[in-house]
Amino acid sequence: MPELPEVEVTRQSFASRIAGARIAAVRMGKPLRWPLGVAPESLVGQSVRQVRRRGKYLLLDLDHGVLLLHLGMSGSLNFATQQSAPGKHDHMDIETTQGCLRLHDPRRFGAAVWSRSEQQDPALKLLGQLGMEPLSDEFAIEAFAKGLKQRSAAIKQVLLAGDVVVGVGNIYASEALFLSGIRPTLRAQKLSMPRIIKLHAAIRSVLARAVAKGGSTLRDFVSAQGKTGHFQLEASVYARQGQACHICASPIRQIKQGQRSTFFCPTCQKH
């Protein structure tokens, strides 16, 4: 599924082009994971002030309220001056004075939800329990360490949970743990402060590098300009099971954690 870098790349690919646009029409297709929560025509006439990101959600600030978009497992957004006729898996079109924003989602796990504000439901329910943003100043080492010390689960699982730090999905958790030399099965509360500092820096580095590379395209991710990502081409451990570690030449191993595949180097990553 699209993770934080892919969502941020998507945001960057259309945010400046849609900012200030006035909504002329809204077309909704088959139902998505949650209802829009307001009549589509009530959005007509409003302007898109800016596009922000919170975790894996994109937030379109309107004149009245905020529209939350989630790409689900396989969704993508496309913004173009003109769109072709909507296809079977095109579930929302927002026609604006500057172009049309289309949500394409073959599996319909994505969402488009309007909320009066971030401080009220449904936005509060969806965003209220999210952890710190890893690419912001809010991601402080002290707060990160405090959160980890309160968790007895494996560090990989804690990173994926998203309540300590948000958006470190499966690909990037494996890569950050490799970069910091930490075994993914180590209990979070067992991490020493020096190792927490290394992990903190690794998370920032891996996510920033992924954004710079356009995210990861494993199946069908494309930005709102139709561009694929390239981070997966330089992954150190993710999906490299059996291949030699770039550092020590040991074979990369694959295990299952919480029904998700984890990749690590048994030599470079210590308990």
Q: Tell me which residues are annotated as active site.
A: 2-3, 56, 260
**Residue 41: Cβ within 10 Å count:** 10
The three-class DSSP label of residue 252 is: coil
Structure tokens at 103: 């949500």
**Half-sphere exposure (CA, 13 Å, Cβ side) for 186?**
23
Cα(95)–Cα(101) distance, rounded to whole angstroms?
7
For the chain, the distance separating the N- and C-terminal CA atoms, rounded to the nearest angstrom, is 29
CA distance 1 to 10: 13
* Alpha carbon distances (Å) from 61 to 64, 138, 185: 8, 21, 40
How far is CA 16 from each of CA 48, 60, 106, 173, rounded to the nearest angstrom?
A: 10, 12, 27, 30
